[in-house]
Amino acid sequence: MEETCKNVYITTPIYYVNDVAHIGHAYTTIIADMLARYSRLTGHNTYFLTGTDEHGQKIAQSAQARGKTPKEYADEVSGKFRALWDNFDISYDKFIRTTDEEHKLGAQKAFEKMYNKGDIYKGEYEGFYCVSCETFFTEKQLIDEQFCPDCGKPTSIVKEESFFFKLSKYEDKLLKWYEENEDCILPRSKKNEIVNFVKSGLRDLSISRTSFEWGVKLPESINEPKHVMYVWLDALINYISALGYGSDEKKFEFWPASVHLVGKDILRFHAIYWPAFLMSLELPLPKHIAAHGWWTRDGEKMSKSKGNVVDPKQVADAYGLDAFRYFMLREVPFGQDGDFSQKALIDRINSDLGNDLGNLLNRISGMSGKYFGFKVSSVDVEKYHVKELEDVNAILENVEELIFNMQINRFLEELWKVLTIANKAIGDYEPWTKMKEGKTDEAMALVALITNIMARVSILLQPVMPEKIAKIATSLGISINTELYNKIIVNKELLSDTVITKVDQLFPRVEEPLIEQAPEAKTEKSEVEEETNKEEPDNLITIDKFFETTIKVGTIVEAQEVPKSKKLLKLQVDLGEENTRQVLAGIKEYYSANELIGTQACVVANLKPAKLMGMISEGMLLAAKDENGLCLIRPEKTKISGTKIS
């Protein structure tokens, strides 16, 4: 998704209609919507695709259990997905369903082309199949001989006639693609997993089934009416059938995809099978396949049995859609697992949105109204505030790169640094004092500086919080569009004279949770367990609990003191990921910044990011302290950055 793109094509996965939409679906779709809105804002010709995946044995079984036909069941659930995205004002250009006739034509054309090329052949499949994941596994991949390694559910042995795709033929071509395209899979740490999987050897892929009928039939030219396509082949083709492949290709100018957004659990299908299918079809490969992590709730995995599944509509209705969008995009680095808690959401609303963003708008309104009758002129901003403008420009110079590299949380962190410059300037220059001293032009310059900063931040925040930012734009007297983006972001020009309008409070303070808390999981204890617990100290944990902590070897590549702190050092630590992690460590009394650079330490890598002195810390260094002082826990010998400690 490079800056020079003329056409931008963004896709979510097509969501499987075996259940209602949950927070993971919302997360993926909100990210895609943000990217699409940003691309349109910056002047790109943009096409945004989402939809539902409706074929397969699991859907047929779910429909039967409810006394419905598969199509009736798919219509019902697909309709709920679409209604939710419409309620969330998701700006998709097309909502595709794999039951659409144009999609079936595209899937059949793709199958026929690969078959005629010799990449598909007929054989017999015998192996283990997980209905829940719609995935085949070898015996070595299973857990305890029969359970699915992905979902843990029992598999069944399937033996039937099948067509196979020559996946093994494309092993070397895939490895070459990964090598030549550094960012084809994001984050890069996920790419390493895919490369290692392919290097271990690829087997040809079973791509048809005869044991059920709910799927896309094979092309008539192949004359195999009892076969339907394997659901993953059918599903992946949606990315090109949505552009008219096999029917009307007037939208095919958008191919290849700029970014396929997926959850980490389906990365293998998108980063191995899909590129191989495209190679067989002789079509260009996607520019980026971006895999995000999973969400837990209050530190626990979500499940229906626990009653702690997060309903995204309930959250958006309670706290506001834009606040929910901001929280999801800001709370967790892309690719890592995130945790949803109402406390964290409330903290974001009250601190980031209420205090930093909303209060700054109130100050603009208050100062402009009190001193200048709500009229603001930028004529003297460059005369009195060159340093602040330079600092703002330096930050905004590189923010677009963060978006296109899927570092959206860092993009938002950078925008909040700009807001900090604005809030600090008010305290530094005290416009009320300037007015008392008769320095009206200096006071006006400050108010105009803050107004210009707010305008620049607002235009970049518009794809994140479109509804709230529209109200800020109204207050500032501006219209957010590509023309304004080019003027004040690209060309760094100042606003023309404007008139400020008062608006209602955008982010009212939230004092307590607005949604009933998830119930704590209760487990029945056996008599043996209860007796054992009486004898064991309270602080003992199980081995499973210990392995919830991820500890890795990190290399400290940068280190500096934190101003005004007696204890903290700010470190940039390489954990073998795409980007370094910023870690704030309270070790200043024992280590100097310079002596740490180039050394290694053990780092807790899956801590929820925390804010210390206004800065984000994304991990914790392990250390030991006694009466003789503190020392970091380090590997005995130098290890590759990111090596997991077990």
Q: What is the per-residue pLDDT for 529?
A: 39
Task: Give the residue numbers of the binding site for Zn(2+).
Answer: 130, 133, 148, 151
Full DSSP string of 323-386: HHHHHHHHHS-TTS-EEE-HHHHHHIIIIIIIIIIIHHHHHHHHHHHHHHTTEE--TTHHHH-H
How many whole angstroms separate alpha carbon 235 and alpha carbon 149?
22
Task: Give the residue numbers of the binding site.
Answer: 130, 133, 148, 151
pTM of the model: 0.78
How many whole angstroms separate alpha carbon 269 and alpha carbon 53?
14
Residues 384, 322 contacting (CB under 8 angstroms): no
Tokens for 405, please give them. Answer: 């590299």
- Name the residue among 207, 213, 26, 224 with its Cα closest to residue 134: 207
Residues 231, 53 contacting (CB under 8 angstroms): yes
Q: What is the per-residue pLDDT for 102?
A: 96
Full DSSP string of 526-537: PHHHHHHHHHS-
User: How many contiguous H segments (helices) and E segments (strands) does the chain have?
Assistant: 25, 27
Residues 149, 265 contacting (CB under 8 angstroms): no
User: How many CA atoms, within 13 angstroms, populate the side-chain half-sphere of residue 448?
Assistant: 25
CATH number of 544-645: 2.40.50.140
- Name the residue among 306, 346, 625 with its Cα closest to residue 508: 346
How many whole angstroms separate alpha carbon 102 and alpha carbon 250?
13
How many whole angstroms separate alpha carbon 583 and alpha carbon 365?
37
R_g of the chain, CA atoms, integer Å: 27
Low-confidence residues in the chain, pLDDT < 70: 1-5, 134, 136, 138-145, 150-151, 304-305, 518-547, 578, 614, 627
How many whole angstroms separate alpha carbon 56 and alpha carbon 134?
7
DSSP letter at 269 equals: I
DSSP-H helix ranges across 21-69: 23-41, 57-65
Q: What is the per-residue pLDDT for 525?
A: 42
How many whole angstroms separate alpha carbon 177 and alpha carbon 179?
5
How many whole angstroms separate alpha carbon 48 and alpha carbon 508?
33
Pairing relation of β-strands 135-137 and 94-97?
A: unpaired
Q: What is the per-residue pLDDT for 530?
A: 40
Enumerate residues 6+ apart whose C-beta is below 8 A from 210: 160, 161, 162, 226, 227, 228
Buried b (16+ CB within 10 A) or exposed e, 269-291: bbbbbbbbbbbbbebebbbbbbb
**CATH 1.10.730.10 spans which residues of the chain?**
341-499
Tokens for 598, please give them. Answer: 């180039």
Count other Cβ atoms within 10 Å, centred on residue 106. 26
Strand partners, 47: 9
DSSP-H helix ranges across 117-243: 171-180, 188-199, 231-236, 238-241
Angstrom distances, CA of residue 60 to CA of 57, 102, 200 = 5, 21, 34
Q: What is the pLDDT of residues 118-175, one digit of tens each?
A: 999 999 877 777 777 767 676 555 555 577 776 677 887 777 899 999 999 999 999 9
How many whole angstroms separate alpha carbon 26 and alpha carbon 344?
18
Residues 168, 203 contacting (CB under 8 angstroms): yes
How many whole angstroms separate alpha carbon 371 and alpha carbon 59?
65
How many whole angstroms separate alpha carbon 402 and alpha carbon 226?
49
- The strands making up 300-301's β-sheet, listed across from edge to edge, are 300-301, 295-297, 338-340
Residues 611, 562 contacting (CB under 8 angstroms): no
Q: At residue 66, what is the residue type?
A: R
Pairing relation of β-strands 300-301 and 375-376?
A: unpaired
CATH number of 341-499: 1.10.730.10
Q: What is the per-residue pLDDT for 375?
A: 98
Angstrom distances, CA of residue 9 to CA of 243, 580, 625 = 10, 29, 53
**CATH 2.40.50.140 spans which residues of the chain?**
544-645
Tokens for 64, please give them. Answer: 């039967």
Q: What is the per-residue pLDDT for 607?
A: 85
Strand partners, 560: 570
Enumerate residues 6+ apart whose C-beta is below 8 A from 490: none
